[in-house]
């Protein structure tokens, strides 16, 4: 999937990112880390955006290298998305993500699509994930429609 | 926001007897490994033999990582064609590599590399020809149809869609 998209993308301004959820790495796979992993793939393509670099240099001085909060991570992701014409995000095995993280992850994805409507998201998972999954994302659609 | 759902119902064609074919495919792949590393992968496979595929993949990855870091220290940096994800941070400045670690400890590229090397050619191609996939990929903006969800039972091959 990712390879096919990469092969077809061609355009420099189109980025394909991917993420594999894994039972074995559930503790590490917080929503912040997952969004961070997507961001990392975007900024690793070329020069790291100065906003990201500045945030890092600032964090380095605080508390011996302070980590990021989800909102900060999303802010930087927004900047990275804005610099590209289209971004594909592929997330494999949603059912292997910790259930307590899933709603937040989906909400974050929903916000990404709302703010950068050209973003394309591909998710895989066992059928039982589909229920709650659709609800959160659909909700996003309705909210956008009303506002 | 509309969600397209595609059920996957294909079986990933992994059988013990196919192992050798996978080995041949990987060892021949010119995309990610230099000739030296291909030779190394070949010998690694021969040594590992027919262990079960799941543990096989993990050992393989760990071994490659170990081998590459040894090579990098050994002054093989100039070969220039080792472009897989395991060593990408070697090419970055220290600060850039630190920023990458700071953003997230997760390294999806490593997993991706093992998936793509384990995959058979043609697996899941039918899916990529479906109108659902094409419409999702080609739709010009708009939040409608931004999310494509592929559901299927464990082991049917969702990960291995090309």
Q: Where are the domains of chain A?
A: 2-146
pLDDT band at A74 (very low <50, low <70, confident <90, very high): very high
Integer Cα distance of B83 and B31 in angstroms? 8
Q: Helices A70-82 & A50-61, crossing angle to 10 degrees? A: 160
Most confident range, picked from A20-34, A71-85, B144-158: A71-85
CATH topology of domain A2-146: Rossmann fold (3.40.50)
Question: Closest-CA residue in chain B for A85?
Answer: B141
Of B123 and B125, the one with more pLDDT: B125
B96 contacts on A by Cβ (under 8 Å): 48
Q: Is the pLDDT of residue B96 over 60?
A: yes
Most confident range, picked from A69-83, B43-57, B97-111, B115-129: A69-83
CA A48-A50-A53 angle, to 5 degrees, is 70
Range with lowest mean pLDDT among A116-120, A131-135, B7-11, B154-158: B7-11
Number of H helices, E strands in chain B: 7, 2
Single pTM value for the model: 0.63
Q: How many CA atoms lie within 13 A of B103 on its CB side?
A: 31
Q: Is the pLDDT of residue B8 over 60?
A: no
Is the Cβ–Cβ distance between B5 and A122 less than 8 Å?
no
Of A140 and A73, the one with more pLDDT: A73
Give pLDDT, residue A86.
87
Q: Is the pLDDT of residue A92 over 70?
A: yes
Instruction: Please state whether beta strands A120-125 and B3-7 pair in parallel, antiparallel, or not at all (unpaired).
Output: unpaired
- Kindly report the backbone phi and psi dihedral angles of residue B95, in degrees, each rounded to the nearest multiple of 5, phi listed first: -65, -40
Most confident range, picked from B89-93, B137-141, B155-159: B137-141
A16 contacts on B by Cβ (under 8 Å): none
Question: Closest-CA residue in chain A for B99?
Answer: A56
Q: What is the CA radius of gyration of chain A?
A: 16
Q: Do the chains contact at B3 and A137, CB–CB below 8 Å?
A: yes
Q: Do the chains contact at B108 and A122, CB–CB below 8 Å?
A: no
């Amino acid at each position: 999937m990712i390879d096919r998209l990469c092969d077809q993308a061609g355009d420099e301004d189109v980025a394909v990112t991917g993420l594999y959820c894994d039972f074995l790495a559930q503790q590490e796979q917080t929503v912040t880390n997952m969004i961070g992993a997507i961001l990392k793939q975007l900024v690793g393509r070329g020069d790291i955006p100065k906003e990201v670099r500045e945030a890092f240099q600032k964090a380095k001085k605080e508390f011996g290298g302070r980590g990021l909060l989800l909102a900060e991570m999303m802010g930087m992701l927004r900047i990275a998305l804005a610099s590209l014409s289209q971004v594909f995000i592929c997330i494999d095995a949603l059912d292997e993500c910790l259930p307590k993280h899933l709603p937040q992850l989906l909400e974050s994805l929903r916000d990404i699509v709302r703010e950068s409507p050209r973003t394309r998201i591909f998710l895989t998972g066992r059928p039982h994930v589909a229920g709650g999954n659709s609800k959160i994302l659909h909700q996003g659609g309705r909210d956008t429609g009303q506002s | 926001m509309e969600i397209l759902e595609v059920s996957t119902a294909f079986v990933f064609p992994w059988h013990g007897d196919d192992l050798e074919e996978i080995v041949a495919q990987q060892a021949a792949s010119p995309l990610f490994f230099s000739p030296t590393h291909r030779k190394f992968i070949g010998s690694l496979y021969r040594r590992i033999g027919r262990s079960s595929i799941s543990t096989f993949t993990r050992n393989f990855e760990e071994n490659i990582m170990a081998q590459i870091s040894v090579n990098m220290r050994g002054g093989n940096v100039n070969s220039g064609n080792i472009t897989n994800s395991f060593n990408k941070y070697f090419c970055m400045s220290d600060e850039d590599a630190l920023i990458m670690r700071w953003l997230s400890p997760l390294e999806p590229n490593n997993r991706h590399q093992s998936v793509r090397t384990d995959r058979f050619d043609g697996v899941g191609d039918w899916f990529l020809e479906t109108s659902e996939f094409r419409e999702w990929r080609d739709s010009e903006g708009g939040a409608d149809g931004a999310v494509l969800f592929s559901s299927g039972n464990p082991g049917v091959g969702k990960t291995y869609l090309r």
